[in-house]
Structure 1
């Protein structure tokens, strides 16, 4: 005697989403679709905070309904509360890293799973906290998505949702409907959205875009371009690129070409002299970076500061010997970054910029005329205050125990400033107005001295070992953050410069310094750098460079 459920299995769906992305709503919609189609359906969720303080796995099981056999004791199926690795039919990921995590955990498998993933990135805490570039390569994630699923459906569903003024869950719901992974008609999915009764029109628009995206091939990893083979073609695997995306790429490429030949056409009248100097005195491969650096330093201080920036880079350009002008280009990048260090004046200036406030409004989806408050959490330290003051006063403040106790008492719990309020904006504006006196501040003098010493060391190495000089310039990447983080980074940078002096003349000098820099960026407390320096000191010294 056969039972009514013989040969049947539930449809299993795992949704990996972060807080605020509507993962619970998406799970509810899927349950509604199943129940409308005569299925038993249930959803559960398991919250997690290991990835980005909010990643949650929502799990849905749907079992086909039917008349039970008279011999069956149970009239309804018992559905699982958690996904089982290797037994998930559909995985939906709201971000590319979440797709990688689903594959790593065994939820998505090549023999069974339809993987639907948004190709946008929301960087994890580990990626953000890395002292260097800690980002996971998106190409690696795409390769895993193609290899780890029976069928991979990928698109930037976050952007599709934004285009429809909706949330990503609606676009992913459309992709699920368009994937064909579930035996339900599109109309049933749309009925579930309407039944929810909230943001129906926008959700349906995002749903439709998701359905269309599911019909297109998923993006393929971009193959690495061999060195010297020219620019990367404007394609993303087998997916036809969006016309607007292509136009932006072409415009950027054209801007770089113009910067190499006519930089003055890309800046305002206050920087015309600097742009003309860049075109006349510097190698073409470095001009685009120099133009960015000139603008950055002018915004940080003034055009005269940009002249000082160009004077510094010109010292290294004078000893340039590489066809690609690597030394000049890296100097153009890292000298600008160091000269535009983060002090309280710079922080205040950035927080009240019109573009920044407009960006916050756009991100918050504030309607025209809608009031919006932006509150900043600040925790000023005595050192930051002292560094902003004129040098004699700053030194006194830094040594004053009484001043330190007062500041500690006032700021021990931090300060909240409303940037969009009159008092808060005025406070930040007044702080930004200290910019004209910055050249007389305690930190300004200290930073300029350190910059000149660093460049002097690179200049001394350049005639002996061009690659080592480039690596010395790139060591600026180690300088990070503020407070204790900045102190640690300065200590690591100092040790790198000491090591660089001892490496001059060695055949492996450039590679060794690059390895030490990577070690310095591996952790904040300098343990990896200490071990790398110890390994070098105990290793046999290689033959001198020819």
Structure 2
């Protein structure tokens, strides 16, 4: 905040309108608690205060909006109507303070018009909880965090941004407390720190942890006030980012730094990434594969080794090694790297054995306890909801039995009777853990299962096609390798991706020999990842058929 900006300069302080505050938070983040703290602070100071909430559609498709309007004592009418009429909903362009519990919610506030450069102080946590729309995309549907932050900075008069979720977690509390501290430290109101802390103490619940998080949030905002960093944009707005002196790194920037660090380790100390059990495979990667592809390969052997065993990791390397002759020294090894990435992912497809293994991992169980803030002497129940289908069960069975039961009506009725409404298993209980652990221990029989035999055959056919194409059109072979991107998930999601993959491979064969083959296949793959119903994909296929016909005529 610039030195000139203070509550005395705002319209509400001049008697023109109430102070307006909007809090956007997801379920379970304490948005209601935060709005009550703010409202109670106002009431204790003699403000006329009204706070309401409008629930979102669902936890991650629309956050709850908590709205507060407040009239300070000095502006309350002396006669006539004793209480002003206050609104129950924020009006676009008329919000003084917006508090967002997550970066996407800050973006939503901007698009809804709650954040404006003439008046709004935006307090936004930079942590990300990806939205349903982002996660449901067949491709990478994530919105760039840096773009969200830049958009928020351009839209607001003042932006205070930091990872308030981490700040709260470090204090042993929840994000509502650290955001309340940032609100108190922002200078957007006349409330003192002591007045805000008194409201927290009055609740009588988790007071010490909440006060620690409040203090950290308050100090973060105050430190930012003392070290503002000018943003790019229109100079007449005189907007500033209020961070700890610099704009915080986005998750994408942090991931890029971590990738660089791991790449350096992959070149010099590969054993640190694979462990002793896969040391032989790690040494093979270092000795026989080009440097640019080694990090991907090391990750691949770890994934395949954990998924099945060391022999499976060797099989993975044997497959990828077929592409080494097509790479030249000093090149970027795009083909080898893409084949290494997608072969590992395909070889580790999701089946009931893998799902069970993931659910009983010690790391997962410990992470849940940490997230729940459970003490060592406190039991935690973990309820997993499963909905097995006939295909998923028969895929795990030996080939002959699986094929026999796949279309058996009696078996289908039995599965429907038991699992049609889903199964709830308490993974933290002895019976629940035993069931999942038993499933996870079926890995030795996986190579004889119906699904395993099918997938290995398909992987080898895909690799055969890539090797053949690489001798003629390296770029097309790269795009064919990346087509495995459409294979993901399990059940109906995997089957839908498999159908599209088959059609992509048909087009890949037809395109071989055309000068624009790689670009055409890349465009088609993008369409295949475009929407769940496949409308965009079908249109792209039709357009390509017409183009192929024209190409053939010439």
Q: TM-score, normalised by structure 2?
A: 0.89
In the alignment, the residues of structure 1 paired with residue 247 and residue 502 of structure 2 have an alpha-carbon distance, to the nearest angstrom, of 49
1:132-531 alignment, distance < 5 Å:
132-214=139-221, 215-216=223-224, 239=246, 253-321=260-328, 323-531=331-539
Residue in 2 that maps onto 1:228: none
Residue in 1 that maps onto 2:8: none
State the Cα deviation string for residues 391-412 of structure 1 (Å, max 9, x = none). 1111111132221111111211
Residue in 2 that maps onto 1:231: none
Residue in 2 that maps onto 1:102: 109
* Secondary structure of residue in 1 paired with 2:277: helix
Deviation at 1:251, TM superposition (A): 7.3
In the alignment, the residues of structure 2 paired with residue 299 and residue 199 of structure 1 have an alpha-carbon distance, to the nearest angstrom, of 41
State the Cα deviation string for residues 328-354 of structure 1 (Å, max 9, x = none). 111111100000011111111111111
Deviation at 1:102, TM superposition (A): 0.7
State the Cα deviation string for residues 15-36 of structure 1 (Å, max 9, x = none). 1111111111111111122223
User: Per the alignment, do residues 144 and 311 of structure 1 end up closer, same or farther by CA in structure 2, a change over 3 Å counting?
Assistant: same
8 Å contact kept, 2:351–2:396: yes
In the alignment, the residues of structure 2 paired with residue 69 and residue 350 of structure 1 have an alpha-carbon distance, to the nearest angstrom, of 63
8 Å contact kept, 1:395–1:442: yes
8 Å contact kept, 2:162–2:248: no
Larger mean CA deviation between 212-221 and 119-128 belongs to: 212-221
Residue in 1 that maps onto 2:5: none
Number of residue pairs the alignment of both structures matches: 524
User: Per the alignment, do residues 220 and 95 of structure 1 end up closer, same or farther by CA in structure 2, a change over 3 Å counting?
Assistant: farther
Larger mean CA deviation between 533-542 and 487-496 belongs to: 533-542
State the Cα deviation string for residues 442-467 of structure 1 (Å, max 9, x = none). 11110000000111111111122211
State the Cα deviation string for residues 25-54 of structure 1 (Å, max 9, x = none). 111111122223232111111112167156
Residue in 1 that maps onto 2:22: 14
8 Å contact kept, 2:27–2:59: no
User: Per the alignment, do residues 90 and 527 of structure 1 end up closer, same or farther by CA in structure 2, a change over 3 Å counting?
Assistant: same
Residue in 2 that maps onto 1:79: 86
Q: TM-score, normalised by structure 1?
A: 0.91
* Secondary structure of residue in 2 paired with 1:115: strand
State the Cα deviation string for residues 166-199 of structure 1 (Å, max 9, x = none). 1111111111111100012211111121122221
